[in-house]
Structure 1
């Protein structure tokens, strides 16, 4: 298993070792010890989710209040998606930046996001199935979203015609969410996660 820091602090790409033979494939898609050694603390597993999406459905950009926030470990178990991490932490050196990672049922990569980061994805195939491990349970009233087509973010989604939920269509822009006091603070996120690990690069995908 190889774990690589993304350009946004607190976000990592995980590439498992695949063992293939005539019967099929075996892999370890999550190892708590390997992840903890990289990010500095274990993922407190509180909830596991699965979503299925039609082609060109976009889910996100979603985030939770910090504390406690919701760290996520995400993989695509069937089909393929373009997974997007967005830094919405006010005061972060990469505030407003995003990075995209393709997840699919061939390479079996995963993405880890620390508390306070925004997350979304676009399904590239029909019935794309995404599995999430979450550090906290869903809390109504403490979960928020940023409009995935916000021009300020400028996320380069892989299709022109995208399908959004009514909730995501009505989500505020990054600027509107900041003005409303919805966004997490970078210092609070770092303190909550025990300092984390600083990414070396800054930039947009």
Structure 2
């Protein structure tokens, strides 16, 4: 049975003054967050320790423990740090593009490595933790997967409304297939830069009105 976890504070909530203590140093917080993200890629969740992260960030263990006493809470904030920087990728207006090009651009933004070259490794590490720490995969699902596939579904819906795309397509399945193409390319050793055009070249003749 998945273990319950305590409510995780976001960086915006943890930054500031501690009760009865000195103000928090945002630079130290960011150093710890960045060290955590690097360790997640290099060692994975299970192998990394708070002591390793403190050493990588150049802070003492008490400094880290005052901020995050549990590894999962630190990882949640480290992931949120990256998710917040990527949110503008999904809130984008592609209506000024030609229909086919709008679809290509939406598929391009599906790429897990669009703004983080380590994303595929990170996702693989988290998938490997699904039995012991399912919360990690749920974080990815909620913040890194759904916003991407939702963008593709939204673009396809807009193309349907404009009459460029058939009304009877399955937007959910198409978006899922496009997302999966990046993982297929990763494992086959194909160039991910070519995926958007290649995928749309196959799908467009089928879905275009």
Structure of greater Rg: 2
**Higher helix content, 1 or 2:** 2
**TM-score normalized with structure 1 length:** 0.24
**Higher strand content, 1 or 2:** 1
